[in-house]
Amino acid sequence: MRECDSMPEAHIERAAAARLLEEKIRSRAARVGIVGLGYVGLPLAVEFAKAGFSVTGIDVSEAKTRRVNAGDSYVGDIPHAKLAPLVHSGKLWATSDFSAVGELDTVNICVPTPLRKTKDPDMSFIVSACQEIARYMHPGMLIILESTTYPGTTEELMLPMLQKPGLQVGRDFFLCFSPERVDPGNPKYQTANIPKVVGGCTPACTEMGRLFYAQALERVVPVASTQVAEMVKLLENTFRMINIGLANEIALMCDRMGIDVWEVIDAAATKPFGFMPFYPGPGLGGHCIPIDPFYLSWKTKQSGVEARFIDLAGYINGQMPHFVADKVQNALNDAGKAVKGSRIHVMGVAYKRDIDDVRESPALDVMLLLKRRGAAIGYSDPHVPSLNMDGINLVSEPQEAAAAADCVVIVTDHSAFDYPALVERAQLVVDTRNALKGVVSPKIVRL
């Protein structure tokens, strides 16, 4: 008797379901699900819908699902003109009902993974998503986590939640990790053309994940395991965090010695090998660089290893808003004014240029520090119309409002700002981004 003839009927059906999944992916008949429709999930949903798949977006926010179903994008990198046709053609729709998972063939989890105040990972969003998926999952499914997390999450946390009795990973269902690498506002590199790293719990999982992404994205990079894939994202952002920390420390040194740090970096960058320029700033912001390295630090401490570079860089970067506040105070003192009672106008509150995201933005820390020193705070940001700071609601003012301020602080160098006009009309400018490079004026104080 052949071996396959002795297999239980249920096992044959599950093996057939796995083969059917591969066929569905290749023919783009697979029903794709995206859990979490934020800056990662919505662009991913759009790419798979563009590739011809039927895509269901799932999000606990009914406000988001309503906007998606109306073809109304709330993600800067996805214009309405790109989203609306996919929705109206029936290729993409959204729901807050997780029972939709029962009709899906693949599920990508793109939910937030913040840090707690104690700098340890908050896995509650991943756990909640997995609990819902486990209720409705079936043999022949591919499940991929994209949320940034610590090495071991996929196999130590997710796999036990999904591995039901009689279902074997790599045979009856497939589980992978693929780190999101989205850079909001980047006009050159977006979801479709950023190489996609993927690692599975088994070689079969990795291959299924590779096959899936290859249908919609330009390049897929398979790696040996979920742990390797999880570590990739942490290395990428730890590399940036530490090098920005070095640039910030050099800026502190140069400030004490009266040296122009921007000229130093530009000159060093002329070396054609062995040097990569990183630039100082008012602090780190966003969803990745200020947070991701601490996932690695937390995990390595469990293994008895101290992540000293990460902790030191985190400390230096965390001090930069205080340094900026001191810069503003000293600049006002030199002009014969005190911070207390002065009107300070902040240019740009998003965490980086030309986006609307204020998560972890150093501008918020700078504004709060100056407010606590007695300053009256206003701001201009064409991408952030309103802001709540320390319980106070602020509204973005036109750039012209900066002329009435005692000091203007450039925190985020949006391209929409008219910098020559700003220098002409402002009484005093503290530039933390070198936005006024090449402009010579006694009004300007640089980081």
Point out the residues that are catalytic.
288
Sheet with 173-177, strands from edge to edge, namely: 92-95, 54-58, 31-35, 106-109, 141-145, 173-177, 196-200, 220-222
Q: Please, where are the H alpha helices in 115-225?
A: 124-136, 159-162, 203-214
- 440 contacts: CB under 8 Å, gap ≥ 6: none
CA–CA dist 114, 95 (Å, integer): 24
N-to-C CA span, the chain: 79
Dihedral angle over CA of 150, 153, 156, 160, nearest 10? 170
What does residue 97 show for φ and ψ, rounded to 5 degrees?
Answer: -100, 110
Give, in order, the Cα–Cα distances in Å from 254 to each of 104, 148, 264, 437. 57, 35, 9, 17
Strands 386-389 and 376-380: unpaired
Distance, C-alpha 318 to centroid of its chain: 18
Check the CA dihedral 178-290-153-114 and report its sign.
negative
